[in-house]
Amino acid sequence: MRYRIMRMLVFFDLPMLTKANISDYRNFRKFLLKNGFIMMQKSVYSRLVINNNSSKLLRNQVIKNLPKNGLVQLLTVTEKQFAEIEFLVGQSNSKVLSSIDRVVIL
């Protein structure tokens, strides 16, 4: 099997006007964390995926757990593309792997 490490990014902007909205936000965020996503920014989460098949499976899981309202976007890029991210202001988050050199495949 050929491995092509990729990074899946989830961007979201969810309403926080009602108790139901807040509950949807919390449930979606808990889903992301439970499934290995790491927060890069307040509403930006990322996760490594090992190949295209695992990317499709994870995409389907995200779709099944979407909140009722708001905006949720998904972007999958290669790890090489992700490693070229530029920090214009601020510093990188040490919890987010920024290089394929640190990835261990078992």
What are the domain boundaries of the chain? 6-102
The model's pLDDT over 18-59, given as tens digits with 9 standing for 90+, comes to: 999 999 999 999 999 999 999 999 999 999 999 889 999 999
- Supply the pLDDT for residue 105: 53
Domain 6-102: which CATH class?
alpha beta
The region of weakest confidence among 34-38, 79-83, 87-91 is 87-91
**Per residue in 82-95, is it b (16+ CB within 10 Å) or e — as a string?**
beeeeeeeeeeeee
% of the chain exceeding 70 in pLDDT:
83
- Supply the pLDDT for residue 99: 47
CA torsion 75-77-79-83 (nearest 10°) is: -80
- Supply the pLDDT for residue 4: 78
